[in-house]
Amino acid sequence: MRIEKDTLGKVDLPDNVYYGAQTKRAVDNFPISGLKMPRRFIKAQGIIKLAAVRANGSLRLIDKKRFRAIEKAALEVIKGIHDNHFVVDVYQAGAGTSQNMNANEVIANRAIELLGGKKGDYKFVHPNDHVNMAQSTNDSIPTAIYISALEAVQDGFVPALKVLQSALSDKSREFNRIVKSGRTHLQDAVPIRLGQEFSGYAAAVKNDIHRVQKASVSLLHLPIGGNAVGTGINAHPKFKNYTIREIRKITGIKFKSSVNLFEGIQNVNPALEISASLRGVAVTLIKIANDIRLLSSGPRTGFAEIKLPAVQPGSSIMPGKVNPVMAEMLNMVCFQVIGNDTTIAYAAQASQLELNVMMPLIAYNLLFSIEILSNAINVFTGKCLRGISADVKRCREFAEASLALATALNPITGYSSAAEISNEAYKTGKTVRQVVIEKGILKEEEAKRILNLLRLTRHSK
């Protein structure tokens, strides 16, 4: 054990941990969920501390020995070497002060060790004076949110969406000549090609990609350098620009400073914006997943127009039953994302005066949404979508049986007469094609031409 002191007094700590007194107090004060900030967020904290010490080093505000030790320790945090020392619960002190100090203390104690000292001997490297130099929780935590979220979107989420869009486009081409009955209000509608249906899914995902990318632009604006309230107190006038420059070098992303540092610290609206775009993706995916479940329902008593890959048994009591588990999983994830977005919206509107104090909750939920949605999309695409096949015969039968086929007769018989034909087909159990031929409304060759299913699904020019 070792004893550390902070402004409230002494704290006992295990000697093998890199975190210090303030982190230990937070662990004791907030035994809430057992949830910790994800790897990407901790990496972003390391990036900020690395960029800050390099900026302060360039400005000659810190000596070379401390600079090198802090730099090495921050690089180790970025690599994930010390993740098990980031121990503060997500539900913690407002704004994320405990989370910021967790990073400061881990890096300080590791730097002390590199300099040959013992953990807790802060005359070597101090977590506040040296690691946190020219920073505040209030500008570093939102900066960490934006860095981690943007990297997660660029590295995992958008690529997953693009693969999904490509797979949907492939299915659209594969199913291009398969005609089926369209359905509106879950009732018979005019014919549509299965490929056209899937092209709608692909286009919806493509539009969502554009929305996510547009929303991501706001994450490029970092409030680092504003310090506690936006004034940059205790920071060198060049600190902000030097730190942003270093963050750009480390990440390879063209981050820039918030247009107004006061606004950048008062609000966490970039997180709100990107979360809203995730919610939009979730809504699109719920629609697609629900359609997949409907179209594959059966196999004997449902639509059964498509067949899904069988990935696991579907029932503990009904032998041979196979369920659309991948679509069900995707729905569950999307519902969670929508719930997370609601949480983020409430947390974002909780900003008061100069600061939003709900940032740890925003950070966790935002990164959680990006992670589970990325993973769900990849699994759904690989284990379900790519293996979907069509029942061509059943699709054709439904298309022929649709009472809405009478719509094609409107230009010939008028709407009212076409409705009578549709009603008679329904009452007699015959197809629209059979009724118009039997009644002599159309000759067989005319019916073949006018009610040609492929022709009826051609796009209008």
Say yes or no: 377 and 445 in one domain.
no
381 and 410 share one domain: no
Euclidean distance between CA atoms 355 and 352, whole angstroms: 6
* Cα–Cα distance for residue pair 222/146, rounded to 1 Å: 7
The pLDDT score that the predictor gives to residue 214 is: 98
Whether 43 is covered by a domain: the verdict is yes
Domain for residue 251, yes or no? no
Same domain, 218 and 316: yes
| Number of separate domains in the chain | 3
Let me know whether 41 and 160 are in one domain. Answer: no
User: 281: domain range?
Assistant: 139-177+193-228+260-391
- Out of 98, 210, 258, 315, the active site residue is 315
68 and 31 in a common domain: yes
Rounded CA-CA distance 216/148 in Å is 12
312, 354: one domain: yes
Q: Is residue 34 part of a domain?
A: yes
State whether 129 and 152 are in the same domain.
no
* 185 given a catalytic annotation: yes
Is residue 237 domain-resident?
no
Whether residue 254 lies inside any domain: the answer is: no
**CATH code, domain with 300:** 1.20.200.10
Q: Six-digit token pair at 42?
A: 């901790």
As a whole number of angstroms, the distance between CA 166 and CA 17 comes to 47
Determine the distance from the C-alpha atom of residue 293 to the mean position of all C-alpha atoms in its chain, rounded to a whole number: 22
| Co-location of 369 and 327 in the same domain | yes
How much is the pLDDT for 280? Answer: 98
247: in domain? no
Same domain? 70 vs 122: yes
Asked about 315 being catalytic, the answer comes back as yes
Helix (H) or strand (E) holding 218: none
Q: What is the CATH number of the domain that holds 441?
A: 1.10.40.30
Q: Which residues of the chain have pLDDT under 50?
A: 461
pLDDT, position 459: 73
pLDDT at 460: 55
On whether both 173 and 200 belong to a single domain, the answer is yes
Q: Are residues 355 and 216 in the same domain?
A: yes
Residue 317 covered by a domain = yes
Query: Do 81 and 150 sit in the same domain of this protein?
Result: no
CA torsion angle 316 318 323 325 (round to 10):
0
Catalytic residue among 98, 185, 216, 236, which? Answer: 185
CATH number, domain containing residue 100: 1.10.275.10
